[in-house]
Amino acid sequence: MEWLVIIITLVVLWVASLFKILHESLSASQAAVLNDGGVFRNRNVLLVIAHPDDESMFFTPTLNYLSSRGCNLHILCMSTGNADGMGNVRKEELYLASIVLKVPQKQVKVLDHPDLQDGFGKSWNSKLLSKIIKEEIVNCAIDLKTIARYFT
């Protein structure tokens, strides 16, 4: 019986030590990730999205993080999102969302290019997209870029 108590005590001590080591390891790595050392401060960041609401549905955590780190945020929206005939409403919603996301409205650009209309099954010309995005990068002196992966 005494051996059983000793073995159980050793196992409990081993498990407690393991948890302590893991906890310290995770805490240190989390602190390192969250402390960017000011590397983002005053950087110009461009978020390129296909249509209004992408900024809110997919990028709110990223925009909040970058804003909290002092980034100068810009949003380039490639269409008004008019697939259902509500492009003007969706465009206005993007401007309202930008207030909440701390992106100055003057730094939110929504395109209504005839070759970049929103709609199911529509494909956009990648060379045109590239040209527009490059122009925006130059015009806004962008340091960091984030592009929504799928444009439709």
Residue 152 counted as domain residue: no
Clarify whether residues 95 and 25 are in a common domain: no
pLDDT higher at 146 or 77: 77
- pLDDT tens-digit profile of 57-66? 999 998 998 8
Average pLDDT over residues 70-89: 93
Tell me how far apart the alpha carbons of residues 56 and 100 are, in angstroms, rounded to a whole number.
10
- pLDDT tens-digit profile of 29-54? 444 445 666 666 788 999 999 999 99
Residue 33: the pLDDT is 45
Residue 21 counted as domain residue: yes
* CA-wise closest residue to 45 among 115, 121, 144, 112: 144
Residue 56 counted as domain residue: yes
Tell me how far apart the alpha carbons of residues 136 and 95 are, in angstroms, rounded to a whole number.
18
The CATH number covering residue 70 comes to 3.40.50.10320
- Which residue range is the domain that position 10 belongs to? 1-35
Residue 85 counted as domain residue: yes
Total domains, the chain: 2
Q: What is the mean pLDDT of the chain?
A: 81
Q: By CB neighbour count within 10 A (0-12 exposed, 13-18 middle, 19+ buried), where does 121 fall?
A: exposed
Angle at 93 between CA 46 and CA 150, to 5 degrees: 50
